[in-house]
Amino acid sequence: MLILGIDTSCDDTGAAVVRDGHEVLSNVIASQYKAHDRFGGVVPVIAAREHTAKISFILESALEEAGISFTDLDAVAVSHHQGLLLALVVGVSAAKSIALACDIPLIGIHHLEGHIYSNLMGRSKVLKFPFLCLTVAGGHTLLLKVVSHGTYELLGHTRDDAAGEVFDKVARHLGLGHPGGAAIEKLAEKGDPEAYNFPRPLINRTDGEFSFSGLKTAVVAAIDRNPNLNKADLCASFQQAVVDLLVSKTIRMAGEHQLQQITLAGGVALNSPLRTALKHAADDHGYQIFTPCDDLCMDNGAMVAGAAYFLYKERGPNPIGIDTRANAPLGSKGIRYRHDSKYR
């Protein structure tokens, strides 16, 4: 089954062709970081404008790289829930046109399900339900028990900022540009992770809850107190605090819920110290760790097509009038991982 996956949930225009949920034939991503860099973050209206300008070329490239045409597609999948609303509607509009013009099923995917399923692609025989998923990016930080296809239990989430968002904001405060995760990781390689003793909020609580806003405030305050501080030391210490928080909660929840397999997903999954620390901690406890390949960590169309392959079998196609929502409950149990006021 050939599925075209489209993701325009934030500032990356992604389109990909995936065969049978596993074989990635193409995965084209147009990043907009140059358009947003001078603002220190993503500007939603600019993201929407860039998606509209680029979407046709990205679709064409995805099909060309896969060596197929629109008429070869069996379905089209799109992120329609979770992200910037102005950006999501562009990808959804393109996907609906393809579904109508080609007379193929339209499959709406919750953006977070794309991240969750990025680990199942090519691994559905070794990764068995239930497993633990830590998905951590610029817009969310969640610990989930993945019970079966499309069914999840929320074990913990951030009460305030997402981990990736904190990376971006600290980087902006240091003048490192946007996105900030890679810049902080690079600078941190030369720094001492114990130079600053930043707080690890909620780390001693026995639940899976996260909080990063206090850590962000502490780091920003340290920068403001001493503008000439050693940036490498600060980045290394900040990064270590984030890693400690994510790893300790993940390992604790895996033990509490007796889950032997742990998956890491989302843009922050690209962070090497996080991958290494989680691997070491998992090895110490006898857990297996799975991380997607780098191309599937950032927002992309392949993870959407991969999730669609598995979830289409469970849920079937969506109607052409499928809605688009910035925040939507996740999975068959309708998990709410943000404040109730966000779900309108």
Partner 1 sequence: MRTLIIDTSGQFTTVLVAKETNLISASILQGRPAEHLHEQVQTSLSSLHIKPSDLGRIAVVVGPGSWTGLNIGVTAAKTFAQVLDIPLSPISTLDALVAGHSKPIWAIMNAGRGQCYYVRCTCFTHDVQPAMAVAPLDTVFNQIRTDTSAVTVLEYGNTFENLLCGDHRYQSAARLLPESLISTMNQSPLLEGDAIKLLKPVYLQPALAERGTIS
Least distance between partner 1 and beta carbon 202 (Å)? 32
The alpha-carbon radius of gyration of the chain (Å, integer) is: 20
> How far apart (Å, rounded) are the C-alpha atoms in residues 287 and 132?
10
151 binds partner 1 (CB under 8 A): no
| 16 phi, psi to nearest 5 deg | -150, 155
- Scanning 13-21, 45-53, 198-206, 330-338 for contacts with partner 1 by CB under 8 A, the matching segment is 45-53
Least distance between partner 1 and beta carbon 46 (Å)? 5
64 binds partner 1 (CB under 8 A): no
Least distance between partner 1 and beta carbon 328 (Å)? 14
Residue of 45, 126, 221, 293 that binds partner 1 (CB under 8 A): 45
Q: Of 93-132, which residues contact partner 1 (CB under 8 A)?
A: 93-94, 96-98, 100-103
Q: Which residue has 């817009």 as its token pair?
A: 139
Under 8 Å CB-to-CB from 39, ≥6 apart: which residues?
Answer: 46, 178
The dihedral region occupied by 52, where left means phi > 0, alpha psi between -120 and 50, and beta the remainder, is alpha
Residue of 10, 24, 30, 48 that binds partner 1 (CB under 8 A): 48
Q: What H or E segment, with its residue span, contains residue 163? A: helix 163-173
> How far apart (Å, rounded) are the C-alpha atoms in residues 219 and 215?
6
16 binds partner 1 (CB under 8 A): no
- Nearest one of 28, 341, 20, 47 to 178, comparing CA atoms: 47
- Scanning 204-212, 244-252, 253-261, 322-330 for contacts with partner 1 by CB under 8 A, the matching segment is 322-330
**Under the rule (CB under 8 A), what is the footprint of partner 1?**
39, 43, 45-46, 48-49, 51-53, 55-57, 59-60, 70, 86, 89-90, 92-94, 96-98, 100-103, 319-324
